[in-house]
């Protein structure tokens, strides 16, 4: 049974992050996910300081606010003339450092250690359960399910708006779409996804799950919806194969899952029909063979 | 009825003035060229008219009322290089985006929207490419897709930012035929253009711009050497060059 919960948690991380990550890739803001995955620590610590509890709900609220704050600060620095990557670098290291300082200053004796936040421990997921409506499931599964529902609802309602504001924000603005509100709503979802996922796989590996499957799907897809489906599929594949390989080699589960994301990406990059790397090399060789030898 | 009325419009980016005190009025039913040297603020003028710049002062009226996207009066073709053409979408997807304003938030495109989008693709001669990924289209074909998307907006006043840049001759002819057709249907079209050789053939109304309006009115009155000298300053030298080329070829 424990194995089932771990697999389910991993797969849910794959699905939720895969879904959310698609627009990070398309909007070329993958690095903001990196930033948010670190600054949610700040949000969680502040939420703990204010409420003196480690309840999942307040963690989500704190993370959402931290994500919005990150997005807002990055935007602010950018409009002040800083480049986006520099703005992200400054904001997330500062907020993360504040988070670490606050933990050691105000939450030293609570189970909120930095290593746990960064690496997570998916193997312990089955023992931390919540009872909601008579169902007892691991807390991580509940949180991921709730966040997945939010993500799905957002895309069901705003799929075409997300598509247009991502592809052509200037045109989107000209027909009156609220592009700023869309951006902040989406970044809130990225923050929620991050905090729901990092409890099990850790903040660093959330980034792998958010970006890797979507980047792999980008190589495969001709439509946004196709990319979403592939991205979720790659997320689940990485989670399941990663789990069994970790078991086989007796190594870190989350680490193996993230490694599998890299493996899947390389496989697609190399062997994708028509424009995979191998295919291209092969085609080039064929052209050379058929070229007349003028000497 | 005026298609466009701009009053005391000024735009500055970080203290650098791009447009200064622009005033102009254009009646409906004209094919208007917005002409001026590089850095004259042509694209900025369009963006300011479409209310995309927070740091502008002055007033803009489209068909004699303030711009409101919900009126669906305005169609827009941004510069082609403003978007990433590797985006996973096909030609029909992009044209369908022209319907989003009419469809409204949350709701899905209907069969009728798709039919309109398909007709617009047909109008630009691209119906055979409806399923083609936009990344696999040539520059001219991408420009036609952008034009089809604007047509799908079924607007009254169109603004197009450099639609002739980097397109093949066939596409240029297709685009100009469609623009003239729009004009024949009583629509008003504003086109940012920088090829002085073709400008007088294409447009029956002109806005000559260099940070402020040099001249604005019917082509035969505005497209004069004096006005061009003023708009282009010392940079008009190349105009003589092109004239020379024309004579010698």
CATH 1.10.10.10 fits B1-73+155-249, yes or no: no
**So what's the pLDDT on residue A103?**
82
Instruction: Report the C-alpha gap between B222 and B36 in whole angstroms.
Output: 12
DSSP A53-113: ---HHHHHHHHHHHHHHHHHHHHHHHHTT--HHHHHHHHHHHHHHHHHHHHHHH-TTSS--
User: Inter-chain contact A160–B93, Cβ cutoff 8 Å?
Assistant: no
Asked if A218 has any chain B CB less than 8 Å from its own CB, the reply is yes
Q: Percent of chain A scored above 70 by pLDDT?
A: 92
Please provide residue B2's backbone torsions phi and psi, each rounded to the nearest 5 degrees.
-95, 130
Q: At a CB cut-off of 8 Å and minimum separation 6, what does B138 contact?
A: B168
Asked if A167 has any chain B CB less than 8 Å from its own CB, the reply is yes
**So what's the pLDDT on residue B190?**
97
Q: How many CB atoms lie within 10 A of CB A48?
A: 21
Domain boundaries, chain B: 1-73+155-249, 82-154
Of A81, A167, A176, the CB nearest to B101: A176
**So what's the pLDDT on residue B45?**
94
Residue of A23, A160, A275 to mutate for B, most B C-beta atoms under 10 A:
A160
Name the band, by pLDDT with cuts 50, 70 and 90, for residue B245.
very low
Place of tokens 């970006």: A211
Segments of chain A assigned E as strands: 129-132, 135-138
Give the number of domains in chain A: 1
Q: Give the chain B residue nearest A22 (alpha carbons).
A: B88
pLDDT at A292 over 60: no
Q: Give the chain A residue nearest B95 (alpha carbons).
A: A164
User: Inter-chain contact A163–B97, Cβ cutoff 8 Å?
Assistant: yes
β-bridge partners, A132? A135
Higher pLDDT, B247 or B19: B19
Mean pLDDT calculated for residue range A27-47: 87
Q: Give the chain B residue nearest A161 (alpha carbons).
A: B105
Classify B131 as helix, strand or coil. coil
- Closest-CA distance of chain A to residue B178, Å: 20
User: Inter-chain contact A224–B89, Cβ cutoff 8 Å?
Assistant: yes
Instruction: Report the C-alpha gap between A83 and B21 in whole angstroms.
Output: 31
Higher pLDDT, A113 or B210: B210
Asked if B85 has any chain A CB less than 8 Å from its own CB, the reply is no
**So what's the pLDDT on residue A114?**
61
A295 secondary structure, DSSP code: -
Burial pattern A160-190, b for ≥16 Cβ within 10 A else e, equals bbbbbbbbbbbbbbbbbbebeebbbbbbbbb
Between A26-40, A190-204, A255-269, B38-52, the lowest mean confidence (pLDDT) is in A190-204
Q: At a CB cut-off of 8 Å and minimum separation 6, what does A133 contact?
A: none
User: Inter-chain contact A171–B76, Cβ cutoff 8 Å?
Assistant: yes
pLDDT digits (tens, 9 = 90+) for A79-133: 888 888 899 999 989 998 998 888 888 766 666 566 666 666 777 788 888 888 8
Asked if B53 has any chain A CB less than 8 Å from its own CB, the reply is no
The torsion of the CA quartet A129, A8, A191, A56, rounded to 10 degrees, works out to 0
User: Token pair for residue A223?
Assistant: 């439509």
**So what's the pLDDT on residue A100?**
86
User: Inter-chain contact A218–B88, Cβ cutoff 8 Å?
Assistant: yes
Asked if B90 has any chain A CB less than 8 Å from its own CB, the reply is yes
Of A170, A224, A227, the CB nearest to B78: A170
Q: Which chain B residues have a beta carbon less than 8 Å from that of A223?
A: 88-90, 93
pLDDT at A205 over 90: no
Of A164, A173, A226, the CB nearest to B52: A173
Indicate the average pLDDT of chain A.
87
Assess contact for A33 and A101: CB atoms under 8 A: no
Q: Which chain A residues have a beta carbon less than 8 Å from that of B101?
A: 175-176
Assess contact for B173 and B141: CB atoms under 8 A: no
Indicate the average pLDDT of chain B.
90
Instruction: Report the C-alpha gap between A159 and A22 in whole angstroms.
Output: 12
pLDDT at B3 over 70: yes
Asked if B81 has any chain A CB less than 8 Å from its own CB, the reply is no
Instruction: Report the C-alpha gap between B76 and A280 in whole angstroms.
Output: 39
**So what's the pLDDT on residue B248?**
41
Give, for B205, the enclosing helix (H) or strand (E): strand B205-210
Tell me whether residue A159 is in a domain.
Answer: yes
Mean pLDDT calculated for residue range A130-139: 84
Of B14, B74, B90, the CB nearest to A174: B74
| Contacts A–B by Cβ distance under 8 A | 71
Q: At a CB cut-off of 8 Å and minimum separation 6, what does B247 contact?
A: none
Assess contact for B210 and B234: CB atoms under 8 A: no
User: Inter-chain contact A177–B100, Cβ cutoff 8 Å?
Assistant: yes
**So what's the pLDDT on residue B203?**
95
**So what's the pLDDT on residue B91?**
96
User: Inter-chain contact A167–B84, Cβ cutoff 8 Å?
Assistant: yes
Classify B50 as helix, strand or coil. coil
Q: At a CB cut-off of 8 Å and minimum separation 6, what does A279 contact?
A: A271, A272, A273
Q: How many CB atoms lie within 10 A of CB B96?
A: 26
What's the CATH number where A275 sits?
1.10.3470.10
**So what's the pLDDT on residue B234?**
64
A window 7-66, beta carbon within 8 A of B: 26, 28
Q: Which chain A residues have a beta carbon less than 8 Å from that of B94?
A: 167
User: Distance between the two ends of chain B, CA-based, in angstroms?
Assistant: 44
User: Token pair for residue B131?
Assistant: 């399923």
Name the band, by pLDDT with cuts 50, 70 and 90, for residue B237.
low
- Closest-CA distance of chain B to residue A53, Å: 37
Instruction: Report the C-alpha gap between B129 and A117 in whole angstroms.
Output: 49
Place of tokens 């169609």: B75
Instruction: Report the C-alpha gap between B55 and B13 in whole angstroms.
Output: 7
Pairing state of beta strands B65-66 and B56-62?
antiparallel
Q: Is the alpha carbon torsion for B133, B139, B145, B146 positive or negative?
A: positive
Asked if A293 has any chain B CB less than 8 Å from its own CB, the reply is no
Please provide residue A293's backbone torsions phi and psi, each rounded to the nearest 5 degrees.
-85, 105
Instruction: Report the C-alpha gap between A214 and A217 in whole angstroms.
Output: 5
- What is the separation of C-alpha A224 from the centre of its chain, rounded to a whole number of angstroms? 17
pLDDT at B249 over 50: no
Classify A133 as helix, strand or coil. coil
- Closest-CA distance of chain A to residue B248, Å: 40
Between A187-196, B116-125, B186-195, B237-246, the lowest mean confidence (pLDDT) is in B237-246
Between A57-66, A196-205, B108-117, the lowest mean confidence (pLDDT) is in A196-205
Asked if B83 has any chain A CB less than 8 Å from its own CB, the reply is yes
User: Inter-chain contact B90–A163, Cβ cutoff 8 Å?
Assistant: no
**So what's the pLDDT on residue B242?**
53
**So what's the pLDDT on residue A87?**
92
Name the band, by pLDDT with cuts 50, 70 and 90, for residue B244.
very low
Tell me whether residue A295 is in a domain.
Answer: no
User: Token pair for residue A280?
Assistant: 């291209």
Mean pLDDT calculated for residue range B31-35: 95
Residues of the domain holding A34: 2-290
pLDDT at B220 over 60: yes
**So what's the pLDDT on residue B247?**
39
> Count of residues for chain B?
249
Instruction: Report the C-alpha gap between A161 and A163 in whole angstroms.
Output: 5
> Count of residues for chain A?
295
């Amino acid at each position: 049974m424990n194995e089932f919960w771990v697999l389910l948690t991993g797969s849910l991380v794959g699905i939720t992050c895969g879904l959310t990550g698609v627009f990070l890739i398309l909007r070329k803001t993958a690095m903001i996910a990196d930033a948010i995955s670190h600054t949610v620590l700040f949000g969680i610590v502040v939420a703990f300081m204010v409420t003196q509890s480690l309840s999942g709900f307040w963690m989500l609220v704190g993370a959402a606010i931290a994500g919005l704050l990150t997005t807002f600060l990055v935007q602010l620095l950018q409009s002040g003339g800083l480049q986006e990557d520099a703005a992200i670098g400054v904001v997330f290291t500062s907020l993360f450092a504040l988070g670490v300082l606050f933990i050691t200053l105000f939450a030293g004796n609570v189970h909120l250690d930095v290593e746990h936040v960064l690496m997570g421990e998916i193997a312990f997921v089955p023992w931390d359960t919540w009872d909601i409506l008579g169902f007892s499931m691991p807390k991580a599964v509940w949180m991921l399910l709730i966040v997945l529902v939010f993500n799905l609802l957002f895309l069901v309602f705003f799929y075409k708006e997300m598509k247009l504001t991502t592809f052509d924000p200037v045109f989107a603005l000209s027909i009156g779409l609220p592009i700023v509100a869309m951006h902040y709503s989406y970044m809130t979802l990225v923050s929620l996804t991050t905090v729901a996922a990092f409890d099990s796989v850790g903040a660093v590996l959330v980034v792998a799950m958010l970006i890797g499957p979507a980047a792999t799907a980008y190589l495969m897809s001709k439509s946004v919806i196709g990319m979403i489906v592939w991205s979720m599929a790659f997320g689940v594949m990485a989670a399941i194969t990663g789990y069994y390989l970790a078991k086989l080699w007796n190594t870190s589960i989350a680490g193996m899952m993230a490694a599998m994301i890299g493996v899947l990406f390389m496989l697609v990059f190399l062997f994708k029909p028509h424009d995979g790397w191998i295919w291209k090399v092969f085609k080039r060789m064929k052209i050379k063979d058929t070229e007349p030898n003028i000497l | 009825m005026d298609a466009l009325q701009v009053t005391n419009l000024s735009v500055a980016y970080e203290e650098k003035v791009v447009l200064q005190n622009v005033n102009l009025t254009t009646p409906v039913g004209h094919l208007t060229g917005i002409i001026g040297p590089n850095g004259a603020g042509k694209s900025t003028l369009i963006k300011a008219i479409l209310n995309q710049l927070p740091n502008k002062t002055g007033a803009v009226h489209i068909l004699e009322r303030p711009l409101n996207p919900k009126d669906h009066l305005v169609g827009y073709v941004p510069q082609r290089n403003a978007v990433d053409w590797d985006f996973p979408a096909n030609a029909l997807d992009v044209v369908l985006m022209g319907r989003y304003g009419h469809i409204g938030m949350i709701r899905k495109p209907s069969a009728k929207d798709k039919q309109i989008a398909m007709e617009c693709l047909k109008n630009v001669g691209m119906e055979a490419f409806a399923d083609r990924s936009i990344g696999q289209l040539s520059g001219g074909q991408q420009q036609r897709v952008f034009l089809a998307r604007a047509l799908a907006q079924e607007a009254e006043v169109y603004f197009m930012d450099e639609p002739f840049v980097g397109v093949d001759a066939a596409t240029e002819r297709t685009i100009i035929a469609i623009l003239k057709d729009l004009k024949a249907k009583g629509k008003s079209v504003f086109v940012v253009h920088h090829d002085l050789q073709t400008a007088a053939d294409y447009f029956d109304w002109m806005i000559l711009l260099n940070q402020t309006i040099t001249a604005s009115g019917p082509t035969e009155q505005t497209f004069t050497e004096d006005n061009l000298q003023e708009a282009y300053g010392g940079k008009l030298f190349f105009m003589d060059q092109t004239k020379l080329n024309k004579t010698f070829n």
